[in-house]
Amino acid sequence: MTHAPGTTPKYADFEGLRQQAVALRWTYDRIEAELGCSRSSVSLWVRDLPRPRPRHTPEEHRALMQDGLARRRAAEHDERAGIKRAARDGVGELTDRELFLAGVALYWAEGSKSKPYDRRERAVFVNSDPGVIQVYLAWLDLLEVERERLGFRLLIHESADVDAAHRFWAAIAGTEVSAFAKPTLKRHNPKTVRKNTGDDYHGCLVIAVARSAHLYNRIEGCWEGIVTQSAARLR
């Protein structure tokens, strides 16, 4: 005899239900649903019984968990890729003005800046991201900065493959390795656990523009304009 979930069977029925619960050896949830008993009753009836034999060995269970985790990560990867793809396609074709403003902001975030107490007024840009370097070079082209005025130098750990890094950045910048100045090598500290290692590590590229005082002051002025207009929108 079974009862609807949430109802209380008569006392005389408990022994029969207990025997059914013991015989079923299902999960608590399934026994509750099948017999219409409370969780406390089911727990009391089967607490002294040995645990049912697992459906899977520990190795099979780990494999199932790893498989489920791999599927979840793959789904998350696909979702991220879809978001980035839609955002990338939404940018569309950049106008000269859009690239100009993006380049000003990029330089002010990553380029060298003069201080009130140390006015150098030189356009020097350093970054390790190839995409950032490409945007910066496209911006310099937009400003009609001649490539002959650009100087390149590598900043990299001494334990890295310096020659390979030179070839990598030369390809990104569209220049020859011979155009690079002597690299600046950072000494390796054996006590430091570095994560920027392996074939994907190429150090940082330094791009200095010769005779760049006018360019630098123009960048500084444009940035002040962006800040002024942005501040006005906050009011």
Look at the block and give the residue holding tokens 């890094």: 165
Strands 150-157 and 204-209, sheet pairing: antiparallel
What is the value of pTM for the model shown? 0.71
Residue type, 31: I
Question: What is the C-alpha separation between 198 and 230, in angstroms, rounded?
Answer: 41
**122-167: per-residue pLDDT in tens?**
999 999 999 999 999 999 999 999 999 999 999 999 888 999 999 9
What's the mean pLDDT when you consider all of the chain? 85
Q: Is the pLDDT of residue 54 over 80?
A: no
Average pLDDT for 40-62: 73
How many residues are listed for the chain in this entry?
A: 235
pLDDT of 47 reads 72
Greatest alpha-carbon span in the chain: 100
Question: Could you report the per-residue pLDDT of 7-17, keeping only the tens digit for each?
Answer: 445 444 667 77
CA dihedral 69, 74, 80, 85 (to 10 degrees): 180
Name which residue leads in pLDDT, 66 or 42.
Answer: 66
CA atoms within 13 A on the CB side of 50: 3
**Contact by Cβ (8 Å): 149, 211:** yes
User: How much of the chain is helix, strand and coil, in % rounded to 5?
Assistant: 55, 10, 35
Question: Under 8 Å CB-to-CB from 184, ≥6 apart: which residues?
Answer: 153, 154, 155, 156, 206
